Amino acid sequence: MRILMFGATGQVAREVLRRAGPGVQVHSLSRAEADLEDPAACAAAIAGAEADVVLNAAAYTAVDRAEEEEARATVINGEAPAAMARAAAARGLPFIHISTDYVFAGGGTAPWQPDAATGPLGAYGRSKRVGERGVTAAGGVHAILRTSWVFSAHGGNFVKTMLRLSETRDALNVVADQIGGPTAAADIADACLAIAAAFRTGGGQSGIYHFSGAPDVSWADFAREIFARAGRAVTVTDIPASQYPTPAARPSNSRMDCSSLETAFGIPRPDWRHSLADVLKELSP
C-alpha cells in the first residue's frame, strides 16, 4: 500500500512514518514539496503521485494565534484539505483527514456524536470545520477523524509542557472544568493506517468519525497522572478555565462518542494511560 501523506514533522505525521509496517510505503510531503498555503499545489501533488491512499496529517494548530490569523488558518485548515479531497476524488483515491474536537461549542456533559451540530468557539475550530465541509463535499471515499488533546514525545504538547514546568516548580494550578480524552499521536497514526488499509481493500465506510483516548479526564487529572507516572512530586490545584484566560476559548466538554469508528473499522478507543507510559519512557534520559 502506498500512502501519500501531507505533513512530515507534526506529531501524527512522525508517528505514521515510524509505525508504517511492512508492505506500507509512506511518501511524506514537506512544506517545501506541498505548501498548505497553496491549495492548488497540494491538489497538483496528488494528481501526479503514485499512491493508493492520501492522508492529510498537516494543519495550522496554533489555536490562540489563529484568532489573529484566521484567514491564513482557513486556507491551511479549510481550503487546502478541500482541494486535496477533490484531487483525490478525481483519481478515485481514498482520503483521510484529521480534524478536532474544537469544531464543537463544548456545552453539556454528554459525549459528542459525529453527526451532532457543530459550533466552533474560535477561529481554529471554524477553520477546521471549513475543511470538514470541503472534504465531505468533494464526494470521494473519505474518513474525517476528529481527535483531541494530542500528545507525543515530539513537538509541543501538554505532556511535555507539564514535564518542563515540573523541572522548576513543585506546585501548579491546572484547569479542571474542561473534560476530554487525551490521545497519543501514535494511536492516531495506528488508526489512520488501519483506515487506509480498510479503504485499500474496499472496506470501511466514508464519513466523520471520532477518536480519542479513554477514560475522559480533566486537564488537572491528566497532569496528576503525568506527574505520578513520571515520578515528579508536583502538587496540582484545580482551577476553573476562567482563572486561566487565553485568546481563544476552549470547549469545556470535549467528550466524544467513538463507537462508530469501532463499528466501521474495528478500531476501539485506546487507553491513553498506556500510551502515556510509552511516551514518558521515550522521553526519559
Catalytic residues: 124
Q: In 32-156, which residue ranges form alpha helices assigned H by DSSP? A: 39-47, 70-74, 80-91, 123-138
* Dist. CA 133–CA 179, nearest whole Å: 26
Whose CA is closest to 31, among 65, 12, 54, 59? 59
CA distances from residue 154 to 18, 91, 134, 162 in whole angstroms, order as listed: 12, 33, 29, 14
In sequence order, what are the residues at sequence separation of 6 or more whose Cβ sits closer than 8 angstroms to the Cβ of residue 100? 124, 125, 128, 146, 147, 148
Q: Is 115 exposed, middle or buried (0-12, 13-18, 19+ CB in 10 A)?
A: exposed
Bridge-based pairing state of the strands 142-147 and 95-100:
parallel
